[in-house]
Amino acid sequence: MRRTGQRAATPAAALAGFGATLAVIAAAMGTAAAADIPVGNLVDYTGRTAIVGTPYGQAKVDAAKWVNAHGGINGKTVNLDTVDYSYEVPRAIATYKKWNQAGYVAIQGWGTGDTEALVNFVGEDKVPYFSASYSAHLTDPTGKGPETKKPTPYNFIMAPSYSDGVRALLQWAKQDWEAKGGKGKPKYVHMGDNHPYPNAPKKAGEVYAAELGFEVLPAIQYSLGPGDFKAQCLSLKESGANYAFLANTSDSNVSLLKSCQTVGTDVQFMSNIWGYDENLMKAAGRAADGVVWVMGAVDWNSDAPGMKLVKEIAKNADPNATYKPVHYIRGICSYYYMKEAMEWADKNGGISGPKIKEGMYQKTDWVPAGLEGVCPKATWTPEDHRGFTEVLVYRGKVKEDPPANADIAQLMADGTIGMEKVYEVDIPRKPEWLGW
């Protein structure tokens, strides 16, 4: 029974309207399917490595937003799903499984413990994994290296490996010892938590130190979290070490450097890529002066041509941005290497895990377009995933203890804190170093 005022549609009109509706729905679904590229972004904003994880994770969010607004991946949009897993391996595994079931084609990952735990998963599922863990254990795609734990065909690390980083620091330390007129064997010690991340380069560093003529001392353990490390600093002082490698992240290293300043430890500290930055210099003050560490990209004040794009990305996300730490810049580089591999895949069979992986092998001495002078030159091959072999070593400079509320941009501008390059080396891709 028809209600008053309603007009019955003719069968033809009804079918035409229904068909039009279906066409609109189908078109919308087809557009979404063609446009959206699902990518996971695993970040640590609240866990033990949040102090460095936050700028790195945010950089990828900002880069995705910028790329999507400027043409995307050949017109397609990346749907970047950012999940804070608080540096907890079980949460990372659970998140990955959810993403894989949903058909995600690539992952931007974070820590060493979780990345190494997911190696078999991403290999079997054929999902390229671009990690902020630079463990050398992730660099052997075929598993042929003499020290390789397992093949890692779908893992790509986005900086020089931790092992190559410590090798570069040791080369610098040997030169430094000789330049200072040091007598006898210099003493070297590895310091860090008993955890996959700080342990990743431990053996490589100690073996190479011995080869270079260092006396290798027993490792000293200190927590990844902040704490009172005076006991460790006293042990370091009593050991007579000349060079100490800090394998933890900067939050932990602030505490260690302050503790060692308190007890009067006289040693040349060297740090891995995540263990030192502008925020640490501000927080640790004079205790951080003179630390030598591995840089993975240029700093915010660099005059490299590609910094124009970096600053546009940052200011697009936050118009008030005046300074971003070095980790932010590396996060942008990580996203852009993936972006260009996806662009190649899209033109050569479609955006899938295997095709993105293949896209990573298409260039040598590769720097993403628009980021010239910012991202290191990279070369990946199906046999060797040590993409970055050029290592830049910098020294931090801190003139005085900055106020707690000081602005890092101003501290860098007025020279209260700063950094200078002291060494640069291209680490050879020795077959015996592949995978460790």
Q: Are residues 230 and 344 in the same domain?
A: no
pTM beyond cutoff 0.85: yes
Residues 111 and 178 in one domain: no
Indicate if 239 and 306 belong to the same structural domain. no
Residue 325: domain span? 33-161+302-389
CA separation for the pair 57, 139 (Å, rounded): 22
Can you tell me the mean pLDDT for 330-358? 98
Residues 56 and 131 in one domain: yes
- CB atoms closer than 10 angstroms to residue 196: 18
* Per-residue pLDDT tens digits for 4-40: 333 334 444 443 444 444 444 333 333 334 459 999 9
Domain count, the chain: 2
25 assigned to some structural domain: no
Residues 47 and 153 in one domain: yes
**Residues 140-184 pLDDT 10s:** 999 999 988 899 999 999 999 999 999 999 999 999 999 999 999
What does pLDDT average to over the chain?
Answer: 92
- Whether residue 18 is contained in a domain is answered as no
Q: Are residues 212 and 139 in the same domain?
A: no
Whether residue 8 is contained in a domain is answered as no
Q: Could you report the per-residue pLDDT of 185-212, keeping only the tens digit for each?
A: 999 999 999 999 999 999 999 999 999 9
Residue 435 lies in a domain: no
Are residues 308 and 277 both part of a single domain? no
Residue 246: inside a domain, yes or no?
yes
CATH of the domain at 84: 3.40.50.2300
What's the pLDDT tens digit per position in 294-321? 998 899 999 999 999 999 999 999 999 9
Residue 381 lies in a domain: yes
28 in any annotated domain: no
* 258 and 187 housed in the same domain: yes
Residues 167, 245, single domain; the answer is yes
* Percent of the chain residues past pLDDT 90, beyond the cut: 90
Q: Does residue 185 share a domain with residue 40?
A: no
273 belongs to a structural domain: yes
pLDDT the model gives residue 102: 97
Q: What are the pLDDT digits (tens) for 52-71? A: 999 999 999 999 999 999 99
- 143 Rama sector, left if φ>0, alpha if ψ -120 to 50, beta otherwise: left
- Asked if residue 194 and residue 106 are part of one domain, the reply reads no
Are residue 360 and residue 400 in the same domain, yes or no?
Answer: no
pLDDT for 35: 56
